[in-house]
Amino acid sequence: MNILITEPLDFNPEQIQVLEKLGTLYQGPFSRKNLLKAIRNIDVLIIRLGHKIDKELLDQACNLQYILTPTTGINHIDSSEAEKRNIQIISLKGETDFLETIPSTAEHSLSLMLSLIRKIPAAHNHVLKGEWNRDKFKSHNLNSYKLGILGYGRVGKQMAGYAEVFKMPWIFYDIDPKLKSHQESEKDLISFLKKVDILSIHIPLNQETKNFINASNLKFLKKGSFIVNTSRGEVIEDEALTALIQNGHIAGFATDVLVSEIDEVKRRKNPLLKLAREFDNIIITPHIAGATYESMWLTEKFIIEKWITTFSCKK
């Protein structure tokens, strides 16, 4: 069996040993060109978020049976093409009990929120320029803001817990009808948006949620509100958000994700990235919310054990 890890930097060392016992292990990093060559005789592909696994790649993967991705979202994989080829995708999607033990995404969401509200990057850059004017960076206490949690899954619930610690009032909106009866839920999206000061986004990306936050509903956020996104870039309509930041309706935006972030050419043209070079109320990090050593090692271990169980059952 041939196993390939596209991005082995700091990969769980115990799981490297497990994989070496199961077959011949190949490790990157790979350029796109080299991955197209390397994948030809691979049976098991283990990826993070550095490559788009699309039709072009899958056309070269003559022997591929499994794609392992220690992520909840799988929009970096062309799942329909994988299905046509009977390639099984093994991810963290739906693994609720396990994921509740992983705090890194919620921690990063909180970090982005605090950095945005307290203007930390702007204040830091101000000091680096030799200045020291605290009056330029006055803000408000967190408990003076109402937090709106869009998506009350694992990360959304963790954010609610953090809000409680900071004594922030909070509500959530979720499309799951089973959550509608929750006392902190808001049944209507527009009503929800009208009530919040900080919108924290934690919904998965699918056909239903692409551009879920868009020009038709963004305008209902209060003037001076903030947005934090650690979901996927595609859940927000970039152009509409950019316009509302430019005209001052949205006071600040912090994100860990961008539309087409893996594609360097498209990413560089992203309107939010361009705007961040002009405005100091935009914070962008390179999809690092889940990138703590502990979380990555735990998820890698989980996904490999899940694959081994699946593989063993098929024997």
> Tokens 């199961």 label which residue?
22
Which residue matches tokens 């963790």? 158
How far lies 71's CA from each of 32, 83, 90, 145, 282, in Å?
21, 18, 9, 31, 26
Any bridge partners for residue 244, and if so which? Answer: none
How is residue 161 written in tokens? 């817990």
Active site residue 267: no
Whole-model pTM: value is 0.93
Contact between residue 228 and residue 200 where contact means Cβ atoms under 8 Å apart: yes
Active site residue 287: yes
Cα–Cα distance measured from residue 103 to residue 137, given in angstroms and rounded to the nearest whole number: 29
| Fold entry, domain 2-93+292-314 | Rossmann fold (3.40.50)
CATH 3.40.50.720 in the chain is located at: 2-93+292-314, 103-284
Q: Which CATH architecture has domain 103-284?
A: 3-Layer(aba) Sandwich (3.40)
| Residue pLDDT tens, the chain, 315 long | 999 999 999 999 999 999 999 999 999 999 999 999 999 999 999 999 999 999 999 999 999 999 999 999 899 999 999 999 999 999 999 898 999 999 999 999 999 999 999 999 999 999 999 999 999 999 999 999 999 999 999 999 999 999 999 999 999 999 988 886 688 899 899 999 999 999 999 999 999 999 999 999 999 999 999 999 999 999 999 999 999 999 999 999 999 999 999 899 999 999 999 999 999 999 999 999 999 999 999 999 999 999 999 876 665
Of 51, 107, 287, 300, the catalytic one is 287
Helix (H, G, I), strand (E, B) or coil at 198: strand
Q: CA-to-CA distance for 147 and 143, rounded, in angstroms?
A: 9
Whether 134 is catalytic is: no
Instruction: Give the C-alpha separation, 8 to 292, whole Å.
Output: 15
Of 107, 186, 234, 261, the active-site residue reads: 261
**Alpha carbons 123 and 142: distance in angstroms, whole number:** 18
108, 232, 234, 300: the catalytic one is: 232
